Amino acid sequence: MTKLHDFLEAYLRTKRARGFKLKDDEGKLRNFVAFMEGREATVVTGKLAIEWAGSSAGPATWAIRLSAVRTFARYLADLEPRTEIPPTGVFPQHHRPQPHTYTAAEIEALLSEIKRWRSRNGFGQWTFHCCIGLLAVTGMRLGEAIRLTRSDVDLDAGVISVEESKFGKSRIVPIHHTTAAVLQDYCERRDASPPRRLGERFFVGERGKGLYKQRIELVFITSMRRAGLRGAVGTRRPRIHDLRHTYAVNTLLRWYEAGDDVDRMLPVLSTYLGHTHTRDTYWYLSACPEFMRHAADRLESRWGETS
């Protein structure tokens, strides 16, 4: 083990004590330290950091890899004055793919197709239907939904507790009474079987075990293709994560159409979605052409008032 390895362990402990999970960054930084050790380098330099960042994976990840080292290097600079902070702007930033905004008819067709999914004892399709349906009506992340425990879901109060989600954030997600009714029906179907009744998770498989993300995504992709909403094998859109995008876009559109102050309301949506920064929610404003029309209408209206 090298001193740089020890510094990394201390860095990870410090960040986690502040609430960061670092699931992705830890792997990157351990790989970087191994690269440094292979070069017998004991001090981080911009040249070595750039060489490592661009040495593997695709161009879309290079800026992300270098950013992880840059944050680590800032920590190291207080311990090793010779540390160089890798520069910014070396690699082009990877732009987020344009998401798909589902129509109500598309979501209905998707959920109808999922109901036709064949399972061993006729229960599996209800889990898939309710889990993916919950994503559509709440904007929750898939990982958040499959990690829900029974105690996280209070159908009488109409709230879901999302604990320790992305970036260590927790939040309360209110649900509509119609959603609560569907989930209550699901609970009765789920608990009709003793193995499933003993399961800790809210959404469970045939034998009461928790769900795997890959399984849900397979059901989603297959059902999308059967419903004619997704192309042949090899195409990647629309995605399941676009249900979250759709929820955010539709919420913002309702506010615009109701004449609400969207800038004032945006932090509310940011908290509801579990975003760490409001700027992550602002991104939705640039991702939907419909918002540009509303913005233009408001600007024209204001000009009319002052002319």
Contact 69, 52 (CB under 8 A): yes
CA distance 194 to 192: 7
CA distance 15 to 21: 8
Measured torsion, CA atoms of residues 121, 127, 132, 136, in degrees rounded to the nearest 10: 130
Count other Cβ atoms within 10 Å, centred on residue 142.
20
CA distance 163 to 202: 14
Give me 282's structure tokens: 């602002």
Count other Cβ atoms within 10 Å, centred on residue 207.
12
Q: Is the dihedral of CA 20, 86, 44, 52 positive or negative?
A: positive
Phi, psi angle pair for 201, to nearest 5°: -75, 155
Between the alpha carbon of residue 11 and those of residues 17, 88, 204, 205, 281, the distances in Å are: 10, 21, 37, 39, 29
Give every strand in the sheet of 171-174, ordered side by side.
153-154, 159-162, 171-174
Active-site residue numbers?
Answer: 141, 166, 241, 244, 275, 284
